[in-house]
Amino acid sequence: MTELPSETALGFRVPAVRQFSIFLENRVGRLLEVLRAFDDAVDVQIHSIAVMEASDYAVVRTIPDNADAARLLLRESDLTFSETDILVVETSEEYPLSQLCQHLLGAEINILFMYPIMTDNPLTEGSRMALCVDENEFAGQILLRKGYRLYGAEDLR
């Protein structure tokens, strides 16, 4: 019996978005400085931001519309950051977040973190969520098969 190659072996890749995690010292006004740097940039805007605070530092997770420009801006601003690909998925009454979690649990995929995406698109029926999992390709394939809509970087522009 001949086994068919997986979707990824056929060249299919689930849509993914680049997220930047910026590490900041926890002091008054530091976040504003970073946001103003993005505001002043002509070629990059922020689609989403989530701030996780600890006693001495904060991690600012952000999804820009132009990853290359964001990377350059962060380097020029001498900020410490990391990058990772994440999934952006639309949830709705028909495709709720609880079902999304159930589908991923059934495949033993761990959700590392999630947060909402800001959108002003009137065509979007539900909410967009940034989703970091331990297996992007597998999770994306499962969610697509279950009818969830995934967004790539080009969809957020």
Residue 65 is part of a domain; what is its CATH number?
Answer: 3.30.2130.10
Q: Is residue 121 part of a domain?
A: yes
Residues 67-87 pLDDT 10s = 999 999 999 999 999 999 999
**Which tops the pLDDT comparison, 151 or 8?**
151
Q: Which of helix, strand or coil describes residue 157?
A: coil
Do 79 and 104 sit in the same domain of this protein? no
Tell me what the mean pLDDT of segment 26-50 comes to: 92
Do 39 and 79 sit in the same domain of this protein? yes
Q: Which of helix, strand or coil describes residue 81?
A: strand
Q: What pLDDT is attached to residue 8? A: 52
Residue 3: pLDDT above 80? no
Residue 98: pLDDT above 80? yes
**Per-residue b/e over 25-63, b at no fewer than 16 CB within 10 Å?**
eeeeebbeebeeebeebeebebbbbbeeeeeeebebbbb
Tell me what the mean pLDDT of segment 90-96 comes to: 92
Q: What pLDDT is attached to residue 13? A: 83
Given 84, 99, 130, which residue is the final one in a domain? 84
Bridge partners of residue 48, in order along the sequence: 63
Q: What pLDDT is attached to residue 104? A: 97
Q: Cβ distance 18 to 82 under 8 Å? A: no
pTM, two decimal places: 0.85
Residue 2 banded pLDDT, cuts 50, 70, 90: very low
Do 60 and 106 sit in the same domain of this protein? no
Residue 153 banded pLDDT, cuts 50, 70, 90: confident
Number of domains comprising the chain: 2
Given 33, 61, 84, which residue is the final one in a domain? 84
Distances from the Cα of 95 to the Cα of 6, 89, 108, 116, 124, angstroms: 25, 10, 19, 15, 13
Q: What pLDDT is attached to residue 24? A: 95
Q: Is residue 75 part of a domain?
A: yes
Do 49 and 71 sit in the same domain of this protein? yes
Do 30 and 75 sit in the same domain of this protein? yes
Q: What pLDDT is attached to residue 60? A: 96
Q: By residue range, what is the domain housing residue 149?
A: 86-156
Each as own residue / partner, the long-range contacts of residues 140-146 (CB below 8 Å, 24 or more positions apart, any chain) are 140/14, 140/15, 140/16, 140/87, 141/7, 141/14, 142/103, 142/104, 142/107, 142/109, 143/87, 143/89, 143/100, 143/103, 143/104, 144/14, 146/95, 146/99, 146/100, 146/103
